[in-house]
Chains A and B, each alone.
Chain A
Amino acid sequence: MTTIADSIVQTEALTKSISGKAVVNEVNIKIERGDIYGFLGPNGAGKTTTIRLLLGLTKPTSGTVRLFDRDIRNHRLDVLRKVGSLVEYPSYYGHLTAVENLEAVRRLLDVPKERIDDVLAIVRLTKDAGRQVKGYSLGMKQRLGIATALLGNPELLILDEPTNGLDPAGIQEIRELIISLPRTKGVTILISSHLLSEVEQMATRVGIIAKGSMVYQNSISHLREQAISRIRFTVNDPASAYPLLRSSGYEAEWDDRSLTIGRADNASTAEAVALLVKHHYDVYRVEEQTASLESLFLEMTGGERSL
């Protein structure tokens, strides 16, 4: 792998207006080789439209798309050869079996026949490969969609809400599948979701879109730092410990079981624990409140809680 970052996806002021309304508004996306880019935003934010623009399914009203550092207007075929995608709900032919569906795509990609068995094994559909897809569950169709996206050994994998409409078990299955995808060859992944929690575990970078505009784009660790971290202490007598923390300058809250302090970095958390112990409180648990990243996300996207 090169040390100088390879640009895999780059958009400049990408805009799509549908009946006069900018559903994608001056979006600048930057994804480099090896990134797992979480593309986040509530329903209707413009994620699918942006992905359609990246793939050339939709033409931009203005702005440009560069994939692998090439303008897709002039190099659509060359760049699409290196891209595997799953846009919105998966596309498939219901009257064909999984093998026939993959064969239809394989002939156009011109990859060896063995590749069909490979991708079926990756998504664990080998057993059902000879059945017509219309009889598949939604999760199986989604897995077939991912298998189709993987067929051409893509360098860039674009997955648009691959867990949409699945039950929790199905979501877990797809998530594990994506995490387990071979990452050794420097595959770059763009995965969209309306739930931060869904991509938080795997993303290296995130872009957040709301009402067609990008509101955040940076590394996931930067986002974590941005989140106001809150620490919760479960103690034996929160009511009396509360004034102690307040008088020591902490922004604290309490309920009948615990105390919560805000803006707590490592040092102030350690000091708070020391203070409580010194005053003979029993500290049962110290927990980071994981909701904070989610609330930051909600704040950025205009507080519209989706799902």
Chain B
Amino acid sequence: MIIRLMSVELLKLRRKWIWPLVALGPVGVIALQAVNYALRYDYLVHQQPGEPWDGLISAVAWLTLAALLTGIFILASMTAGIEHQLNAWKLTVALPVKKRHLYAAKFLLTALLLLTASVLLIPLTVALGLSLGFGTAIPYGQLIAAALFPYLAALPVIALQVWLSVTIHNQAVPLTVGIVGMMTANFAGSRIPDWLPYKWPQIDYAVNEPGLYVPAGIALGLVIYAAGMLDFVRKDVR
């Protein structure tokens, strides 16, 4: 049933311009870094210690944080908004479908869109590095870690935004929460305490071990997902 629900979710994305929006995040990050490297090539490539590939991967990861956190609240709100806009929840809930499956499909859809964006970073970073002449000794392990660990560490934020977007009709609420979270993570930076999940996606996983951040992200993400699902099942449908 989840597979059927997912196929319906994908069908409902038609003409919504969501896929271009998904691509916009990683493309934007890479484009900004391309400009950054074009302007400061000598400083970034020759005057920094370490391999140029490592420098690029860290630079991309640093910019990705804002794009990821922004993508989360926008996509969560858009996928839920498809139902809220014309009060279509009642249409699906009155069908022989389990409410928790419906919630799972919405969560999976949002998570899948964000995963697509995160994975897209890998070939785009490679393309940028190659065109900057960094050579073919590409550190794929670091590249994959830098693209996927922030995504996994951000699962609590994804689960929270899906919960708020799905259960609250007025999307101003989840959008505000999303913006405040994104701002906090970006401007408080490393000063935010370790226990705050907004810290977890901003570790530079190109040079750091996933440590506790990634498993904690997955675990807390699942807990928040379960709480949101129970709340959705319990609530009356508008």
Contacts and interface: CB of A to CB of B under 8 A. Distances in A.
A87 B96 contact: no
B12 A104 contact: yes
A107 B16 CA distance: 20
Q: What range describes how many residues of B lie at the interface?
A: 20 to 34
A148 B85 CA distance: 19
B46 to A, nearest CB: 51
A89 B85 CA distance: 13
Given A80-B96, A83-B94, A107-B4, A93 B237 contact: no
B127 interface: no
B9 to A, nearest CB: 9
A93 B82 contact: yes
Contacts of B85: 94
B68 to A, nearest CB: 26
A103 B236 contact: no
A281 interface: no
Given A93-B12, A96-B14, A108 B87 contact: no
Interface of A: 52, 55-59, 76-78, 80-81, 83, 85, 87-89, 91-96, 100, 103-105, 107-110, 132, 148
13 contacts: A52-B236, A56-B94, A57-B93, A57-B236, A78-B96, A80-B94, A91-B87, A92-B86, A95-B14, A96-B11, A96-B15, A103-B11, A104-B11
Ranked nearest first, the 3 interchain pairs of A and B with the lowest CB-CB distance are: A91-B91, A81-B96, A58-B236
Given A80-B96, A95-B14, A103-B11, 18 more contacts: A52-B237, A55-B93, A55-B94, A58-B237, A77-B96, A81-B96, A83-B94, A88-B90, A89-B87, A92-B88, A93-B12, A93-B82, A93-B86, A93-B88, A104-B11, A107-B8, A108-B92, A148-B91
Interface of B: 4-5, 7-8, 11-12, 14-16, 82, 85-98, 236-237
